[in-house]
Structure 1
Amino acid sequence: MMLVHPLEYSAATHPGLKRENNEDCFLSAPDVDLWVVADGMGGHDAGEVASAIVRETFEKLAEAGRAFSLQDAIQKSHEEILSSADKGIGAIGMGSTVVALLSQKKNYQIAWVGDSRAYLWSPDDNGGKLTRLTTDHSYVQMLYTSGAITAEEVETHPDKNIITQCLGMQELSQVKVDITQGQWQKDQWILLCSDGLTDELSDESIAQILEHSPNSLTAVDQLLHEALTNGGRDNITLQIIESPLVADSLSSRFWNWIPSITNNRTWDAIIFFSAITILLGLLINTLR
């Protein structure tokens, strides 16, 4: 029997070794099962403004309590960036990519615009399998899809970082939001990341690190470390979200008994047993 637990996750962001500021932004909202990575662009701090607008837009829509749509949130983010630039907030021409995950019990949905990516990691008897869930909205992806270049040429193409659309693009009244969905399986992880990670690490390198990571926190730390070691030429942001499905074992029954307080199982257990210890101490003192 499989049980559905609150999702565990780990996240990190770093300006990299060549940039003075960090134009990446991320949102972790486990209370509404939502995770977002946004990669801003525009220079002169404008990229920071654009990616922050994406995060704030998602936050406001999620807090509104209505049925949540990733597509609507992304379109709204695009509109907010455009209107903010018109008001002198940030700068004309600023923009942001986005990739977002919404988990719904045993199912998940991913939506994106630009070249920030989502990967699915599925462990198996042979180590595991890494599947890219998103397709870059980029010039070289168009070349590859048309057959003009090979997969090997994609990684070394001089125009690799030219994207075909982003949030805030002045020429677009609406962006084309791509969406994929799937069903969680036991022990799977979903990795959301900006291109600062994938420019430094191949899919094969990412898979190797995930295979040898005992938990998502270690995986995030190792991926970030390797990206920095390989050059860290851009801002780097990543989140790993763990499958909510776990086997109905003795340990899973124990964790199911612990109330969810912080959405971190270890801290939930510490807080719960600390509270029990204090209550027992008060009870003993009362009975003396």
Structure 2
Amino acid sequence: MISILGKSNIAKRATNEDRFVADSNWGIALVADGMGGPESGEVAASIVATQITDLLDEGRPLTEAVHSAHQEVLRGAEDNRGKKGMGSTVVVAHFTDNQFELAWIGDSRAYLWDGELRQITRDHSKIEAMISRGEINYSDAIKSPQKNIINRAMGHGEFSQDDVPLLKSALFHGQKLLLCSDGLHDAVAACDIARILSTQLSSEQQLASLIAKALENGGTDNITVVLVESDTIAQENEESPILPAVSIARVDGYMEHFPA
């Protein structure tokens, strides 16, 4: 069985434009970070969360659900459910027992904790593209004022179902899958996230600690975190498929980023 818990905090914003789904029965863990200002951003994120959840519940493939939600945000801007220009990021994991598929658009992230913290989603962002082209190094990138400029979003531009990145893996006892909006990963260093996930605190307490750390560090954006754990014991010679790491962080302060 898996356990999925989520928590969100408005921080210093006027409204909370983040939305999350944390449903162990459906096997859905999702974080959507709305853009477009008060009302519009929360509308876009709500459309994304609802549409993806409904389509997964109907048995539709994950990438199709994400792409359909993108189109639904575009329609929502046209039929006055929100405002033109509204959009959202999304990162979503869909579980069948302890097996999962993971998809994302934008810079909401997924991390896998397994004694070290592995970032397994690569941001659709201007800075990530610059790093990959060798135009800026990672240590300068995390301090750049351009670090929150994303180059792909739900409800913005055009992309196909085939453009939605998809990862497949499994989660075993002792591992954790963490999904979060940039309100967390902008405010809390990856090594500090690793330290909190390494504690013996309950999942609920770890969620609270992650948000408290972001607020302590002066985080101003909405902070949303979803944490997934599994009680499935790996059998002999059974382990999770190794997912490519975008970055690795450890409790001793070691941190490395791997460009595409």
TM-score bin (small chain): 0.7 to 0.9
- For the residue of structure 2 that corresponds to 1:181, the secondary structure is strand
**TM-score normalised by structure 1 residue count:** 0.78
* Contact 2:5 2:22 (8 Å CA) reproduced: no
Give unmatched runs, 5+ long, in structure 2. 236-260
Q: Counterparts of 1:47 and 1:53 in 2: how far apart (Å)? A: 10
CA shift, 1:240, in A, is: 0.4
Distance of aligned partners of 1:61 and 1:240 in 2 relative to their CA distance in 1, 3 Å threshold: same
Runs of 4+ in 1 over 4 A off after TM superposition: none
Identify the structure with the greater helix proportion.
1
Larger gyration radius, structure 1 or structure 2: 1
Q: Counterparts of 1:244 and 1:99 in 2: how far apart (Å)? A: 23
Q: Counterparts of 1:150 and 1:136 in 2: how far apart (Å)? A: 15
Match of 1:9 in 2: 4
Match of 1:33 in 2: 27
Match of 2:193 in 1: 206
**TM-score normalised by structure 2 residue count:** 0.86
* Contact 1:78 1:174 (8 Å CA) reproduced: no
Match of 1:172 in 2: 158
**Which string of whole-angstrom CA distances, capped at 9 and with x for unpartnered residues, describes residues 143-182 of structure 1?**
111111111012101100000010000x315373111122
The total of aligned residue pairs comes to: 234
* Contact 2:172 2:234 (8 Å CA) reproduced: no
* Equivalent position to 2:202, from 202, 209, 215: 215
- For the residue of structure 1 that corresponds to 2:71, the secondary structure is helix
Distance of aligned partners of 1:185 and 1:120 in 2 relative to their CA distance in 1, 3 Å threshold: same
Match of 1:261 in 2: none
Q: Counterparts of 2:231 and 2:166 in 1: how far apart (Å)? A: 21
Match of 1:185 in 2: 172
- For the residue of structure 2 that corresponds to 1:16, the secondary structure is coil
Match of 1:73 in 2: 65
Alignment RMSD, CA only? 1.6
Q: Counterparts of 1:207 and 1:173 in 2: how far apart (Å)? A: 33
Q: Counterparts of 1:14 and 1:48 in 2: how far apart (Å)? A: 14
CA shift, 1:135, in A, is: 0.3
Matches within 5 A, 1:108-123: 108-122=100-114
Q: Are residue 95 (structure 1) and residue 87 (structure 2) matched?
A: yes
* Contact 2:30 2:91 (8 Å CA) reproduced: yes
* Equivalent position to 1:132, from 92, 100, 119: 119
Matches within 5 A, 1:225-244: 225-244=212-231
CA shift, 1:136, in A, is: 0.3
Q: Counterparts of 2:11 and 2:69 in 1: how far apart (Å)? A: 25
Q: Give the residue type in structure 2 aligned to 1:83.
A: R
Q: Counterparts of 1:174 and 1:87 in 2: how far apart (Å)? A: 22
* Contact 2:17 2:38 (8 Å CA) reproduced: no
Match of 1:282 in 2: none
CA shift, 1:221, in A, is: 0.8
Matches within 5 A, 1:251-266: none
* Contact 1:187 1:245 (8 Å CA) reproduced: no
Q: Are residue 82 (structure 1) and residue 77 (structure 2) matched?
A: no
Q: Counterparts of 1:56 and 1:202 in 2: how far apart (Å)? A: 31
**Which string of whole-angstrom CA distances, capped at 9 and with x for unpartnered residues, describes residues 41-99 of structure 1?**
001310000000011102321333x3x32101110100100011111110000000000
Give unmatched runs, 5+ long, in structure 1. 1-5, 123-127, 249-288
Q: Give the residue type in structure 2 aligned to 1:87.
A: D
Q: Give the residue type in structure 1 aligned to 2:228.
A: I
* Equivalent position to 1:158, from 145, 152, 157: 145
CA shift, 1:247, in A, is: 7.7
- For the residue of structure 2 that corresponds to 1:12, the secondary structure is strand
* Contact 1:102 1:109 (8 Å CA) reproduced: yes
* Equivalent position to 1:53, from 47, 55, 58: 47
Q: Give the residue type in structure 1 aligned to 2:124.
A: H
* Contact 1:40 1:47 (8 Å CA) reproduced: yes
- For the residue of structure 2 that corresponds to 1:8, the secondary structure is strand
Match of 1:252 in 2: none
Q: Counterparts of 2:53 and 2:98 in 1: how far apart (Å)? A: 23
CA shift, 1:102, in A, is: 1.1
Q: Counterparts of 2:10 and 2:101 in 1: how far apart (Å)? A: 28
Match of 1:251 in 2: none
Distance of aligned partners of 1:105 and 1:63 in 2 relative to their CA distance in 1, 3 Å threshold: closer
